[in-house]
Amino acid sequence: MRGTTVLPGTPCDAPREGVLPMHRLEVALPNAMPFAIGTFDTIGPMSRADFPHRHTFWEIVHVTAGRGAHVVDLARWELEPPHLCVIAPGQVHHWEDARGLDGSVVLFTEDFLLDHPGDRDLLLRLSRGPWLGLGPAAHEGTARLLQELSGEYLRAAEGFDSVLRALLHVLVVRAARMPRRPVRAAPAPPGRAAAVAEEFARLIGGPEPEPGSWSVGDCARRIGVTPGYLTEAVKAATGRTPGQLVRAARTHEAKRLLVRTDLTVRQVAGRVGFTDPAYFCRFFRRETGLSPGDFRRGGGTRHGGIHHEPRVPSIDRPAARA
């Protein structure tokens, strides 16, 4: 895919302040094969980066030694080698207090799966599940297959790209079906979920809502978590889902614009993320019981006006009762 690979030494892509770094796969030449395999040492420092970041490529990690934890979408997994992990493009991850880390790292883009497109679904399933440890037989088989992949990659003999694709296909299929032992989840640092909920509230509840803040998925990507984790964090902090809070924030912003500006209903709809003014009118009536025009004519003083309405519910913990 275009933009998923770069030449060595190209800076990572962090287009806006507050957006997590997006790393692309380094290849030696512009049209080089989008695949790499090595150890944590030969792949380089980014293979064990201790700061949250994303990739444009897939990563398969076979950990054979080490201590610490690996964090994927804010889920923390204690290192208890040997185990296998798949990290999908766009997932947020980093290593915490990793010491003595050893094993194999396989990197490749979507383009490298063209011979076996069904592997993408298997990889997605593996990336969404918890880290699972490998039993002795699974560990030995995985190590042998990765050694063969590495040897083929380093020799670069004629036709090695097709052999690498075939071996990777075998690795993915076997990983999806092999029995594995559970890896212990590490306790999440205190306040992490609250911080995620706080950032979500900032995105949708500021005086000037940011572009994209009306989409739960976009908010999750900007915060650096999955939509599922965002839902859990926000519901734990507020008792409401992100979708419910987004609807409330959109409604409030629409009320404010209708009462305090001269924007047309079409313009108001666009400001709160609706491309279809008719759909916006139905949404507004469902949420308030009034059409946008009726609400504007009433000055916002009926049926839940804006004068004392909070933008979003507080995510602070309720005060303890006496």
Question: Which amino acid, 196?
Answer: V
Of the pLDDT bands very low, low, confident and very high (cuts 50, 70, 90), residue 56 is confident
| Residue 310 domain flag | no
Q: What integer is the mean pLDDT of 10-17?
A: 49
pLDDT at position 230 is 86
Nearest to 104 by CA among 133, 155, 146, 160: 146
Say whether both 144 and 215 belong to one domain.
no
CA 3 to chain centre: 18
For residue 210, give its domain range: 192-297
* Whether residue 110 has pLDDT greater than 90: no
Q: Are residues 120 and 241 in the same domain?
A: no
H helices of 157-215, where? 160-177, 192-205
82 and 42 inside one domain:
yes
User: At 100, which CATH number?
Assistant: 2.60.120.280
Task: Look up residue 211 and give its amino acid.
Answer: P
pLDDT, greater one: 119 or 235: 119
Chain mean pLDDT for the chain: 79
pLDDT of residue 105: 96
282 part of a folded domain: yes
Arithmetic mean of pLDDT, 122-140: 85
pLDDT at 285: 93
Could you read off the pLDDT of 255-294 as tens digits, one per residue? 888 988 889 999 999 988 899 999 999 999 998 899 999 9
Taking residues 298-321, report their average pLDDT. 41
DSSP SS3 for 306: coil
Backbone angles phi, psi at 82, to 5 degrees: -90, 145
30 plus 95 within the same structural domain: yes
User: 242 and 231 in contact (C-beta within 8 Å)?
Assistant: yes
315 vs 144: which has the higher pLDDT:
144
The SS3 of residue 123 is helix
CA nearest 63: which of 102, 98, 99? 102
What is the predicted pLDDT for the residue at 50?
A: 87
For the segment 8-37, the average pLDDT, to the nearest whole number, is: 62
Distance CA 283, CA 285 (A): 6
